[in-house]
Amino acid sequence: ALAAGAADPADPLCAAHLHCPPLAVAAAADLAASALNPSLDSWDQAPAASALEAAVARTLARTAGLADALVTTGGTESNQLALLLAREAHGRDLRLVCGANAHHSLPRAAWLLGLPDPVVLPAPAGTLDPAALDAALTAHPGLTLVAATAGTTDAGLIDPLPEIAGLCTAHGARLHIDAAYGGGLLFSDRHRDRLAGLEAAHTVTLDLHKLGWQPAAAGLIAVARPGELAALHQRADYLNADDDTEAGLPDLLGRSLRTTRRPDILKIAVTLRTLGRSGLGTLVDQVCTRAREFAALVREHPGFDLYDRPAISTVLFRPATADDTAVATVRRRLLHEGRAVLGRARLDGRLWLKATVLNPHTRPDDLAHLLELVEGSTPA
């Protein structure tokens, strides 16, 4: 019943969200992890998994230009940890500064951690404006954490990371980059330069159950200063007794805010072992190419408006003659009839249909069919 009623991310017409079709090898590794059922809250429950997690997490962090990483459940937990580490390093007066394009988990984390109300800057073009950020940092000279985005949820846009990093250095601000979506570009030789500036961050959110084709959950937070992770340290005698730690048993409680933890790193490790960085990069290139092809179809069709050329693999479009109510109705009609699953995004004061291309097996014919379905569901 669950399978029959599921939204299938492997279907090329299921393209609403950052919800990828998982690789078979990753799903098989996830099944093995469930069968073995190790828990990474103490070394004696997961001796092999804990060693694997430490090695693979560090490797992925270095791919992003940072020193170490913790495994998380995804972007939300990673962003919360980024703010927590910043608060513990700089104090409770630390203020978050981000754009209106930032993920909702960032201001929510500021609220959850008891930080001052964040400064949320308008982002009319969909990205954080360096001039507005400069003005905000000048107006708020105290301790600040700037959160930039590499791959917005609505449109996949990438903030101007080098300029933002330079402003943070000039103003003495800490920098966090949410690359939950765009971080997958690191695997691609063709696209990784889009993330120039990532290495300047103090913390970076990564999420391989988006542009990494992993079953959820597969998040990480990469850190530039591993010593800051000491803020997460806790002592529980039954898990990390002092004498056990002194005898050389790894202390895992400081690797997460969670206690019981699945070995989510296993599926990532097996994927990297099987495909390598270049293999994942090929998949990234394929979905980015398909997205550009779909955008070209939309641009060439007189009955549709295209928001912009896709920055990663998200395409925003809408029937040219439809108002926002009609656009919303078209989306719901396709969803209720089980013919296509599209997302929605509001930019430039207009409602757009959103196609997030994450299926490497999507063909040009699938994209043409999707456009035909939308056209056929649009009121004349």
| Confidence (pLDDT) at 6 | 84
Tokens of 270: 């097996």
Which pairing describes strands 304-306 and 314-319: parallel, antiparallel, or unpaired? antiparallel
Backbone angles phi, psi at 375, to 5 degrees: -60, -40
- 14-18+276-377 — its CATH code? 3.90.1150.10
Could you tell me the pLDDT band of residue 367, with boundaries at 50, 70 and 90? very high
Q: Is the pLDDT of residue 4 over 80?
A: no
Q: Is the pLDDT of residue 380 over 80?
A: no
Could you tell me the pLDDT band of residue 125, with boundaries at 50, 70 and 90? very high
Distance of CA 125 to the CA centre of its chain: 20
Backbone angles phi, psi at 119, to 5 degrees: -95, 115
CA distance 24 to 209: 13
Cβ atoms of residues 162 and 150 within 8 Å: no
CA distance 266 to 255: 16
Q: Is the pLDDT of residue 1 over 70?
A: no
* Global pTM value: 0.97
155-195 pLDDT, tens digit per residue, is: 999 999 999 999 999 999 999 999 999 999 999 999 999 99
Mean pLDDT of all residues in 120-148: 97
More confident residue, 217 or 7: 217
Could you tell me the pLDDT band of residue 129, with boundaries at 50, 70 and 90? very high
| Confidence (pLDDT) at 2 | 72
Residue 174's DSSP bridge partners are 145
CA distance 169 to 164: 9
Other C-beta atoms closer than 10 Å to the C-beta of 252 total: 22
Cβ-based neighbours of 246, under 8 Å, separated by 6 or more? none
Mean pLDDT of all residues in 78-96: 98
Q: Is the pLDDT of residue 200 over 90?
A: yes
Mean pLDDT of all residues in 77-93: 98
Q: Is the pLDDT of residue 5 over 90?
A: no
- Quote helix, strand, coil % in the chain, to nearest 5: 45, 15, 40
What is the biggest distance separating any 2 CA atoms in the chain, rounded to whole angstroms? 75
CATH architecture of structural domain 24-275:
3-Layer(aba) Sandwich (3.40)
Let me know the angle formed at the C-alpha of 291 by 288 and 297, rounded to the nearest 5 degrees.
145
39-74 pLDDT, tens digit per residue, is: 999 999 999 999 999 999 999 999 999 999 999 999
Supply the DSSP string of 95-109, one letter for each residue.
EEEEETTS-THHHHH
The structure tokens 């993920």 sit at 103
Could you tell me the pLDDT band of residue 3, with boundaries at 50, 70 and 90? confident
Cβ-based neighbours of 120, under 8 Å, separated by 6 or more? 98, 99, 100, 102, 107
CA distance 61 to 204: 9
| Confidence (pLDDT) at 149 | 99
Q: Please confirm whether the linkage preceding 200 is cis (ω < 30° from 0).
A: no
Cβ atoms of residues 308 and 322 within 8 Å: no
Q: What residues does each domain of the chain span?
A: 14-18+276-377, 24-275
Mean pLDDT of all residues in 75-92: 98
The average confidence (pLDDT) of the chain is: 97
Mean pLDDT of all residues in 198-224: 98
